[in-house]
Each structure stands twice: as C-alpha cells, then as structure tokens.
Amino acid sequence: MVGLQKPKDQSQFTDALDEQATFQKITSTSSEIVIAEIQKRDECYGGLIVIQQRMEAFIDGWFVYLSEIPSCYQCFHLLLDFRL
C-alpha cells in the first residue's frame, strides 16, 4: 500500500467502500428487494434516499432529479427501469 494517503476523514473512505458493496448487493437482487433495501436505509448512499423520496414524484420531467443525486447514477437507472 505504498503511496496511498489516508483520507482526512476516514469515514469518507469507509462510506465509499460501503456504497460499492451496497450497489453490488442491490444489483444482484430483484426490484422488489431493491425498494425494500432503500426504504430501510437511514443514510444516503449515492442518492438512494433521494430516489426513494421521489419515487411517487416521477413525471415527464424525471430528469430534473438527476441534479439532486450526488453520485451513483446506476442506482437511479436501476429504479427507473423498475418504474418503466
């Protein structure tokens, strides 16, 4: 691990690993489980909570919400596919 710098905020590094693991988990499950997984989370993993809060608000202008999602656009498309 030579050359790697420890993040100033260790939680940033941990959160990134958690987000990656979470995304791998939800992409290997059914859409119903994806929704349940999102609903029980207390934190925002790449915009998952934002997406969950907007689920009933998807309209013709759904793309507006992209600006509210900090990262993990794959999660957004995963749920968009479920809605369609």
What residue segments make up the domains of the chain, in order of their start? 10-83
Neighbours of 72 (CB within 10 A): 19
* Radius of gyration for the alpha carbons in the chain, expressed in angstroms and rounded: 14
Checking if the pLDDT of 76 tops 50, the result is yes
What is the pLDDT confidence band of residue 74, given thresholds at 50, 70 and 90?
Answer: low
Mean pLDDT confidence for 5-10: 50
Q: Which two tokens stand for residue 33?
A: 């489980």
- The token pair that represents 42 in the structure block: 């207390």
Query: What confidence score (pLDDT) does residue 26 get?
Result: 47
Tens-digit pLDDT profile for residues 16-64 = 556 655 555 544 444 555 555 555 554 445 455 555 555 544 444 444 3
Predicted local distance difference test score (pLDDT) of residue 18: 63
Q: What's the predicted TM-score (pTM) here?
A: 0.18
**Is the pLDDT at 3 greater than 60, yes or no?**
no
